[in-house]
């Protein structure tokens, strides 16, 4: 990746001006809103509806997925255009991949790679226009991170699959329009050769969603009771789900990367400059400055890992072990930062602050650290993938799948 800072070309400069002016207009009304995080305990309906509306507006211009083909709802633009959108949105504290809660950022690339042409034309445009919310539905009670143990069955019955089973630790507090669901299409088949992916309408008869109020945020259990799903909605082929899962998991496990940086340190510095103990700002304490320096250094490393993976993804040259490396390090840094915040401010770090965006709410950082060690696969999953990619204890190295 080229880390040199270069001036925009004339074309990109014009585009940046267009994006900046468009955001100035369309971000009006957000001044008093504070953004919730991905694993949120906040339920601000006004904020959610603003973000849904913003996503639809971006989608109308093809900017929600700017590099996707125009015929599917994208804008057919280049990585330079994507970087402009990412960086300009970041000024408002929003990530293009998570304008509102939906896993379309993972599901859409998988369908683009593995879906039949008819499926792409039906499933992708609503996602790319920001019209629908999609949950990924993988984890099961008995399997945890080992999704190949999938017991949610999808048995072919004429032109439909009949789905029965349970998923856990998924979703958000608003119901989904679609459930991107890993299922077992051949219960008697060998491991890794008996899976499939169904794109299931969220309002299908037989689906029950049960909220799970957890320390790390609002998640859900999903129950499937004789849910009939058109066979057309099977993406990637019957019993071919593990190959499709490799693309999905590479994105989920850090391979997608990102551009924006974690703004936590800036808020910690501001807090320590303003908070006084015995009349002296906390920032005057050399031990606290040492802690902040450690935070700053590690978050810079996380940022560079994320940008590197973003670049490798979009130039179609996947980094062999970058996803697992980034994800493992990022999660350990978050855990350490939660501990550091408690060392700096004690019990004050455990008090929610609704006046700031949730990602820089100290209580959220402390609370979400342990939970994020498990979400989307455990630390052991990261270690295993890393070991396979660099060839530890193996005669050959496992290749990283190319994503879109």
Note the pLDDT tens digit of each residue in 329-348. 999 999 999 999 999 999 99
Please state which of the ranges 29-43, 257-271, 281-295 shows the lowest mean pLDDT: 29-43
Other CB atoms within a 10 A radius of the CB of residue 255 amount to: 26
Mean pLDDT across 51-55: 96
| Residue 4 predicted with pLDDT over 80 | no
* pTM assigned to the model: 0.93
Other CB atoms within a 10 A radius of the CB of residue 285 amount to: 14
Please state which of the ranges 23-37, 65-79, 280-294, 364-378 shows the lowest mean pLDDT: 364-378
Distance between terminal CA atoms of the chain? 17
Catalytic residue (one of 86, 252, 256, 298): 252
Are the C-beta atoms of residues 64 and 96 closer than 8 Å to each other? yes
CATH fourth-level superfamily of 134-241: Butyryl-CoA Dehydrogenase, subunit A, domain 2 (2.40.110.10)
pLDDT-based confidence at residue 2 (cuts at 50, 70, 90): low
- Give me the chain's average pLDDT, please: 93
Q: Which pLDDT tens digit goes with each residue over 182-191?
A: 999 999 999 9
Mean pLDDT across 77-105: 93
pLDDT at 39: 80
Has 256 been annotated as catalytic? Answer: no
Where along the chain do its domains lie?
A: 10-100, 134-241, 257-390
Cα–Cα distance measured from residue 148 to residue 117, given in angstroms and rounded to the nearest whole number: 27
Alpha-carbon dihedral 198, 41, 85, 375, rounded to 10 degrees: -50
DSSP sequence for 72-138: GT-----HHHHHHHHHHHHTTT--GGGSSS--HHHHHHHHHHHS-HHHHHHHHHHHHTT---EEEE-
CATH for the 257-390 domain, from 1.10.3720.10, 3.90.380.10, 3.90.1300.10, 1.20.140.10: 1.20.140.10
How does 357-380 read in b/e, with b if 16+ C-beta sit within 10 Å? bbbbbbbbbbbbbebbbbbbbeee
DSSP sequence for 1-16: ------PPPHHHHHHH
Q: Which pLDDT tens digit goes with each residue over 266-301?
A: 999 999 999 999 999 999 999 999 999 999 999 999
Half-sphere exposure (CA, 13 Å, Cβ side) for 311?
9
Q: Which pLDDT tens digit goes with each residue over 157-210?
A: 999 999 999 999 999 889 999 999 999 999 999 999 999 999 999 999 999 999
């Amino acid at each position: 990746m080229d880390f040199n800072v270069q001036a925009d070309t004339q074309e990109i400069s014009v585009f940046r001006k267009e994006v900046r002016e468009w955001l100035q207009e369309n971000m009006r009304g957000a001044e008093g809103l504070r953004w919730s995080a991905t694993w949120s305990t906040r339920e601000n309906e006004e904020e959610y509806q603003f973000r849904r509306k913003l996503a639809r507006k971006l989608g109308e211009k093809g900017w929600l997925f700017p590099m996707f083909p125009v015929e599917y709802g994208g804008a057919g633009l280049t990585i330079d255009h994507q970087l402009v959108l990412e960086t300009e949105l970041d000024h408002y504290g929003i990530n293009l991949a998570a304008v509102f809660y939906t896993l379309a950022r993972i599901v859409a690339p998988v369908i683009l790679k593995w879906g039949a042409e008819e499926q792409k034309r039906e499933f992708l445009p609503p996602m790319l226009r920001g019209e629908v919310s999609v949950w990924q539905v993988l984890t099961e009670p008995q399997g945890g991170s080992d999704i190949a143990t999938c017991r949610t069955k999808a048995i072919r019955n004429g032109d439909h699959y009949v789905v029965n089973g349970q998923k856990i630790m998924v979703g958000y507090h608003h119901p989904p329009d679609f459930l991107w669901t890993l299922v077992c299409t051949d219960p008697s088949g060998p491991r890794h050769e008996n899976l499939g992916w169904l794109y299931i309408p969220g309002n299908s008869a037989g689906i029950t969603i049960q909220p799970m109020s957890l320390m790390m945020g609002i998640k859900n259990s999903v129950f499937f009771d004789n849910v009939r799903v058109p066979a057309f909605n099977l993406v990637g082929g019957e019993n071919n789900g593990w190959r499709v899962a490799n693309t999905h998991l590479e994105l989920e496990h850090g391979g997608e990367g990102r551009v924006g940086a974690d703004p936590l340190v800036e808020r910690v510095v501001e807090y320590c400059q303003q908070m006084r103990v015995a009349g002296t700002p906390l920032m005057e304490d050399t031990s606290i400055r040492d802690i902040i320096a450690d935070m700053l250094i590690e978050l810079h490393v996380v940022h560079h890992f994320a940008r590197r993976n973003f670049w490798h993804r979009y130039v179609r040259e996947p980094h062999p072990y970058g996803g697992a490396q980034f994800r493992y390090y990022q999660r350990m840094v978050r855990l350490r930062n939660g501990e550091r915040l408690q060392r700096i401010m004690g019990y004050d770090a455990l008090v929610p602050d609704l006046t700031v965006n949730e990602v820089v709410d100290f209580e959220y950082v402390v609370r979400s650290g342990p939970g994020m060690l498990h979400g989307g696969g455990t630390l052991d999953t990261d270690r295993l993938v890393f070991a396979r990619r660099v060839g530890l204890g193996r005669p050959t190295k496992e290749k990283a799948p190319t994503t879109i």
